[in-house]
Amino acid sequence: MVEITDVVCSLCGCVCDDIVLEVENNEVVKVKRGACSVGKSKLLGHERIKSPMIRENGELKECSYDEAIKKAAEILYKSRRPLLYGWSSTVCEADSAGIELAEDIGGVVDNTATVCHGPSVLAIQDVGIPSCTLGEVKNRADLIIYWGANPAQAHANHMKRYSYVSKGYWTAEGKKGKKLVVVDVRKTMTSKMADVFIQVEQGKDYQVFSALRAILRGHEDVVPDKVGGVSKEQLLEVANMVKEAKFGITFFGMGVTHTGARHNNIVNAIQFTRAGHLYGKWSIMPMRGHFNVTGFNQVCTWQTGFPFSVDLSRGYAWYNPGETSSTDLLYREDCDSALIIASDPGAHFPGAALRHLAKIPVIQIDPFANPTTEFADVVIPAAISGIECEGGVYRMDNIPIRLRKILETDYYVPDAEIVERIHAEVRALREKEGE
Ligand code: SF4
């Protein structure tokens, strides 16, 4: 039995990097410290795709890696406008290889931000973002706001490691010296811990941010008695907490990005943060979901100039979310094949998008079966990033962290290698046809 320390969890955007494991006979037998229950479950392992498969007469039949990779290359080579989607639960090296492949075959490359924090990215492009690292939050923040986010269930270590419950250099008393405000449309596990819980009406976040901004800027007389279901009294209470805080942070989730004014909600949230600067240090940060959703946005920006939803079919990068985003492309039936990697649109895309996805050839690359497997035509199992292979990822605060390899595999192939091998096959097909 070997004890391995400083293991990094490859599940959510917290990217916890102080996990201690026990490994015996190339198997994780115990997660001793550091991981939450979902992180622990991933590290201990569960049912995975056992072999590459190709669908024949409606049924997935097992095959070799070479056969599956050749078939995937044929599908992409024959396509006029393939969609290459996912990329958030794999490492930056795979993302980079995928963007290169998309450029070469004239595809549209997009990641899961398109259905989660895409509006946050658009807002940041509009007005910038006053943000910080999670380390700064841990060491300095005395007022924490979670808005439209439920970390107690979705990012289980977030409060313990980085925010309300953590103890840092200037926050040695932990939660005793801090205040927690939760804003949501319903009571959650996180709201139960809050000093102040604000129950906002569905889709009215924009108005509540505006009211708080007005109060912070000295215009409380223009704020009516109730805004978005929240009483003026409560708004004044929160504004006073903001005024008294030395270092405040707003963490926001998809409860804000996908309601009402969408990316304008985030623009307003950022302007609320700036109003906080009249009184103290204020920051804001999106609660990114997948462990490397942030990393894809980084890599895509390095390589194409844009963070997601990039159409490379014109021979240059064209970025126009709403037109070039995956769901819109699928609604319009504007792509003729799809490579889905490290994600599950089968479970998360709207029905109209899925209807087209079910009609076109789909290649899936993933360690685990999920609803997308049900309609995939080629399934290629991957080594598990952060367990069977290493690689670079970006935590939700844009801090790069290296995933470690903790188990050996002599069968499963890392995502980056699968994508590179598909690309090599596409080049070989092109050479064969004398293009
Ligand atoms: S909080 Fe997220 S990164 Fe940390 S152990 Fe849990 S699932 Fe893994």
| 291-310 residue pLDDT tens | 999 999 999 999 999 999 99
Locate 52 and state its tokens.
């590459």
pLDDT at 435: 63
In the chain, the amino acid numbered 133 is T
pLDDT at 233: 98
**What's phi and psi for 46, nearest 5 deg?**
-150, 180
CA angle 157, 162, 166 (to 5 degrees): 90
Our mutation pick for probing the ligand 1 site, out of 9, 21, 158, 404, counting the most ligand atoms within 8 A of Cβ, is 9
Give the domain 49-116+291-432 fold.
Rossmann fold (3.40.50)
Q: Collect contacts of 204-208 with beta carbons under 8 A, ≥24 apart.
A: 204/228, 204/229, 204/260, 205/147, 205/148, 205/255, 205/256, 205/259, 205/260, 205/261, 205/265, 205/268, 205/269, 206/260, 206/261, 206/264, 206/265, 206/268, 208/183, 208/235
pLDDT at 46: 83
Residue whose CA lies nearest to ligand 1 atom number 2: 12
* CB neighbourhood size of 92 (10 A): 22
Residue whose CA lies nearest to ligand 1 atom number 1: 157
The ligand 1 atom at the shortest distance from the C-alpha of residue 155 is 1
Q: Collect contacts of 217-220 with beta carbons under 8 A, ≥24 apart.
A: 217/275, 217/278
pLDDT at 221: 97
Taking the centre of ligand 1 as the mean of its atom positions, its distance from the CA of residue 156, in whole angstroms, is: 6
In the chain, the amino acid numbered 302 is W
**Ranges under pLDDT 70 in the chain:** 435
Strand, coil or helix: 105: helix
Name beta bridge partners: 39: none
Residue whose CA lies nearest to ligand 1 atom number 5: 35
Residue whose CA lies nearest to ligand 1 atom number 3: 15
| 208-249 residue pLDDT tens | 999 999 999 999 999 999 999 999 999 999 999 999 999 999
Ligand 1 site, CB within 6 A? 9, 11-12, 14-16, 35-36, 38-39, 155-157
Taking the centre of ligand 1 as the mean of its atom positions, its distance from the CA of residue 404, in whole angstroms, is: 15
Strand ranges for 148-305 from DSSP E: 179-184, 196-199, 226-227, 230-231, 247-252, 281-286
Taking the centre of ligand 1 as the mean of its atom positions, its distance from the CA of residue 291, in whole angstroms, is: 9
pLDDT at 434: 77
Locate 90 and state its tokens.
């794999």
pLDDT at 260: 80
Residue ranges per domain, the chain?
Answer: 2-43, 49-116+291-432, 118-286
Give the domain 118-286 fold.
Dimethylsulfoxide Reductase; domain 2 (3.40.228)
Residue with tokens 């198997």: 27
- Burial class of residue 27, CB neighbours in 10 A (0-12, 13-18, 19+): exposed
